Structure 1
Amino acid sequence: MVKEEQIEAIVREVLRRIDREDIKLNEDKHQLGVFDKMEDAIEAAKDAFEKFSNMTLEDRERFISEIRKATLENARVLAEMGVKETGMGKVEHKVLKHQLVAKKTPGTEDLKTQAWSGDKGLTLVEMAPFGVIGAITPSTNPSETIICNSIGMIAAGNAVVFSPHPGAKRVSNFAVDMINRAIIRAGGPENLVVSIKEPSINTTNAMIKHPDVKLLVATGGPEIVKIVLSSGKKAIGAGAGNPPVVVDETADIKKAAKDIIDGCTFDNNLPCIAEKEVIAVEKIYRDLLDEILKQGVYKLNALQISKLENLVLMDGKLNKKLVGKDAKVILDQIGINVSDDIRCIICETDEDHPFVMEELMMPILPIVKAKNIDDAIRIAVKAEKNNRHTAHIHSKNIDNITRYAKAINTTILVKNAPSYAGIGFGGEGFTTFTIAGPTGEGLTSAQTFTRMRRCVLADGLRII
């Protein structure tokens, strides 16, 4: 007699195979919005923008609603594709990221009109689209960034041309196809969101230089941000970070330990906002470490730290093959076998150790002892390296939090919570995966992708 558990297992396996076949069919057929040539993609987006320009805000919101629905329906497919293609992150965490993007990325409600009325008439300032936006997306959060950007850029009235990271082209173009089909189902134009089948540095440069691309948005490392900033066009750059987390003697130590490890290990530390190094004041250092050791971590000794450094930073350069990998996979490469429940690698280091000063994007967490809060703030500022991205603190002392906030000067500061609260997951506020520290826009949303237009009517429509 077949047990109920066996039936459920068989059903799950059949559904899994069906899902895989659906993905293959989607990739084999013509993908909407995905072009062989960048010039053709831009031309198609330009044509779509012209049609889109005659549509209403209600139309925009209807398209966005359908994109949100499609994202929720495909969250697991996108997550599995992303992990399979890039080899980075965790499926369950990527599912949550897609759900977050679908639910908390702002739409047209983010657009605000300003008005001045007086004896000389009425003046309006409204948020207008740029036209065709060129967007460069990373391999760390590929489909999440494409969906998030698409919602914001469409809400602002734009069309968008994506140049995805070559290492994530399959999942990126799957997302582009999904978005186009959602827009068309809602009565919108084809090719409002487009991409390139085989992205490369050459296709990216062609997009950057194309005269019909009016705004550039780069989400990635410092190199690509520098390129768009030197383009001569309006550019929004979301660069790298190296977020420190400070813990002082007033913190809830047990909660701080859990929050830090939860944030650091989320999607294997791929999010740019994730905790990258801990600076704890001497008074609670040992208590914090003891609590962290209860959170499913493996603590290295000095010899093991040296071996890990040689593996992770080969010849002083980040070993990209290990970015976003599980802690178990990384430890295995230095001869340490651990169970699957080990989610983070803990290292006690000094403040100048490469693990502290370099953004690893791996579940490796260096912990540094500071003399006091002033010393901890100094070390954190040095580690953050003026990226102006994200920082964290666990403290109940308002004065300490305030001093830290002023000194660290980051776009996001998370207090007494895991890092992901900073983008609305377990915290208030909207979400984004394009956090523009270098160019100052901060957490981008629909209004970020607009230009201000002023309309003046002199000596009229003043009805008082």
Structure 2
Amino acid sequence: MSEVENIVKRGRVAQKEYELYTQEQVDLVVSAVAWAILEPGRNAELAELAVRDTGLGDAADKFKKNFRKTLGLVRDLQNAKTVGVVSHDPATGITEYARPVGVVAAITPSTNPGATPINKILNALKCRNAVVIAPSPKGLSTCARLLQFVHAQLDLVKAPRDLVQMLPDPITKDATHELMRLADLVVATGSQANIRSAYTSGTPAFGVGAGNVLVIIDENANLDSAAQKITQSKTFDNATSCSSENGAVLLDAVYDAAIDALERAGGVLLDAADKQRLHDVMFSNGKLTSTLTAQSPAVIAERAKLQHPKASGARFFMVEETGYGPTAPFSGEKLSPILTVWRAANFQAAKELVSKVYSYQGAGHSVGLHTASSGSVMEERAADLARDLPVARVIVNQAHAIATGGSFENGLPFSLSMGCGTWGKNNFSDNMNYRHYLNTTRVVRPITEKVPEVETLLANYFSQHPK
């Protein structure tokens, strides 16, 4: 028996025991495990370890992310029913029972080596599953330390430690593939190579699409407010999030004023020469390299040898673009505090440009809109984007990276894994949440038969095309 087989076998034994827990017992386990990372000292250790070992992001921001994303998830889970009867409809005679899926394989990225694993652990435990984490090699140490904290909390509530396990060091593709094959469900976040592997593992899988979020600033927007929100989002954790704005489409009527607002918020617009210097470091044969991924603006300025007099003090950089696609690599995802800006003649042109960019990269994820704070204009333009663009979310007047994965200021579920629908080659288009970790069994009772008449059902058709 391989080491991975043994891990999954132990997970199955623990899960069978855990499946007998009541809702009250399950909720106690979830609370205990949440405290593994919500406790400030442990959170700080994990945040610092993540930055030290991955070289990605900012420790203070990771601390905030670990806390807020976990706190929001616990709020979402608090009153959710995941044991026994979860719904009953006397009219249909159907009663629904929540059932676990078994052993979950959780594939997690280096960009969030603490926040994403705990999110998947808590969702899995809430639904009476066991979970095995497959961290990225860079995120191994953070995940291992997190699991030490988790196991201590499981001990406190006398729950089996094998409910939460991880692949052993070293993390290999072969071991990850074997885990996915042996598990009952795969939940994958990370590179598109990992997502494709999850979908072809032979095991039911939820995987997420690629990011490359664009935001439109229209002529009705409060420009300083929009700039502050974009800056908050673009600079958070050095833009490790797939929900961080990669580009802004500015309407011609406010282009110059919007650039000024973004610069007041800390952005620095680079000239053509600095844009080329940045390009030469960021891309190789048109492909994004990891050289500047999730690095601070100061590190980016130094590595790219930027000449702008304010480069060393920038909060983020901006580069102007007119095209999209492989010949315009700045139109794609950059995973760094670098914002591409386009000029559009009007709202319709802006929408069309976003669609073209998403045909290259980012389809299915999200689009942002900064517009009037309320009223018919806001509603009409948000509806316009929702009807026409290949996106699962339209984020209105919010800091995109904060809002898309759930926020205390909107109603989306807290998550670090965003489904992108068939546009992004995913089989779901909502934020991954506990419902994706459940099976449902339905008791179906007989009800009084009601057979409709054909003439009634097709009345509209027959009114136009008589028999």
TM-score range, shorter chain: 0.7 to 0.9
Any idea what SS the aligned residue of 1:126 has? Answer: strand
Contact 2:278-2:306 within 8 A present in 1 as well? no
Partner of 1:393: 369
Q: 1:377 and 2:345 equivalent?
A: no
Residue 367 of structure 1 deviates from its aligned partner by 0.7
% of aligned pairs identical? Answer: 23
Q: 1:431 and 2:405 equivalent?
A: no
Which letter maps to 1:375?
A
Aligned equivalents of 1:282, 1:374: Cα separation in 2: 12
Candidates 430, 443, 450, aligned match of 1:455? 443
Any idea what SS the aligned residue of 1:424 has? Answer: coil
Partner of 1:410: 391
Aligned equivalents of 2:160, 2:140: Cα separation in 1: 23
Contact 1:48-1:159 within 8 A present in 2 as well? yes
Any idea what the Cα deviations from partners look like across 1:161-219, whole Å, max 9, x if unmatched?
11111111100121122222212212211111110122110111111222xx1111110
Contact 1:108-1:156 within 8 A present in 2 as well? no
Aligned equivalents of 2:433, 2:80: Cα separation in 1: 7
Contact 2:107-2:188 within 8 A present in 1 as well? yes
Partner of 1:59: 25
Aligned equivalents of 1:315, 1:339: Cα separation in 2: 26
Q: Judging changes above 3 Å, is the alpha-carbon distance between structure 1 residues 182 and 217 closer, same or farther for their aligned structure 2 residues?
A: same
Partner of 2:431: 443
Aligned equivalents of 2:253, 2:429: Cα separation in 1: 38
Which letter maps to 2:433?
S
Q: Judging changes above 3 Å, is the alpha-carbon distance between structure 1 residues 177 and 458 closer, same or farther for their aligned structure 2 residues?
A: farther
TM-score (norm 1): 0.86
Which letter maps to 2:151?
N
Partner of 2:66: 98
Q: 1:311 and 2:285 equivalent?
A: no
Residue 151 of structure 1 deviates from its aligned partner by 0.7
Candidates 80, 96, 104, aligned match of 1:110? 80
Question: How many residues end up aligned between the 2 structures?
Answer: 420
Candidates 144, 157, 160, aligned match of 2:128? 157
Q: 1:46 and 2:12 equivalent?
A: yes
Contact 1:135-1:160 within 8 A present in 2 as well? yes
| Aligned counterparts, 1:282-361, within 5 A | 282-336=252-306, 341-352=313-324, 354-361=328-335
| Aligned counterparts, 1:266-277, within 5 A | 266-277=236-247
Candidates 208, 213, 229, aligned match of 2:180? 208
Residue 125 of structure 1 deviates from its aligned partner by 1.1
Aligned equivalents of 2:291, 2:162: Cα separation in 1: 34
Contact 1:52-1:157 within 8 A present in 2 as well? yes
Aligned equivalents of 1:269, 1:297: Cα separation in 2: 14
Partner of 2:51: 83
Aligned equivalents of 2:184, 2:311: Cα separation in 1: 51
Which letter maps to 1:391?
V
Partner of 1:422: 404
TM-score (norm 2): 0.86
Residue 409 of structure 1 deviates from its aligned partner by 3.4
Aligned equivalents of 1:394, 1:131: Cα separation in 2: 43
Contact 1:355-1:366 within 8 A present in 2 as well? no
**Structure 1 residue runs of 4+, over 6 Å off?**
none
Unmatched 5+ residue regions in structure 1? 1-35, 460-464
Partner of 1:368: 342
